[in-house]
Structure 1
Amino acid sequence: KMLSGLYMQLRDLCSSKHLPIVEEIGSSPLDNVRAKAETYYRFIGRPTFACDSGLFVEELDSELQPRVKFRRLGDKPLNDEEMINH
């Protein structure tokens, strides 16, 4: 509702060539999504929306939480197919 009446064209950044890779070094999904949105804004020069997630398990102590590292196997980031196969 807030955006109705505005002329907007949404584009998927995945189709952009030479898109910079944003290292996910934040301690929360908000830290990482902010870094992505700011980096992509500087890259394309237009307002950018980004999304990120994290995994938190109630039963685990805070030092054992996967948080934003749950798509990694050791130090290697996993793509969607690798994540499914793992």
Structure 2
Amino acid sequence: MTEESSEIRILITSDEALVLFEFLRRYSDTDQLNVVDQAEQRALWNLCCIFEKTPVAPFDMEYGQALADARERLRDEE
């Protein structure tokens, strides 16, 4: 499996999914990231905790390069 094709699966509750979906939908509509309810903040914190426990190299010494590479792969082609 190449780095580009690797997947990480996360589990969130249906409440978290609904709250995060609305948060992201609002961002998609307005291009502004604004927390309008404390539940959005909690859902984002919970998601961050999940990512911290997931082996995606956030504490690796090469984190900066891994992040730059991931950003490059995710950008739209020009």
User: Scaled by the length of structure 2, what TM-score is found?
Assistant: 0.32
Rg larger for = 1
User: Scaled by the length of structure 1, what TM-score is found?
Assistant: 0.30
Higher relative contact order (CA 8 A, sep 6+): 2
Please identify which structure carries the higher strand content: 1
Please identify which structure carries the higher helix content: 2
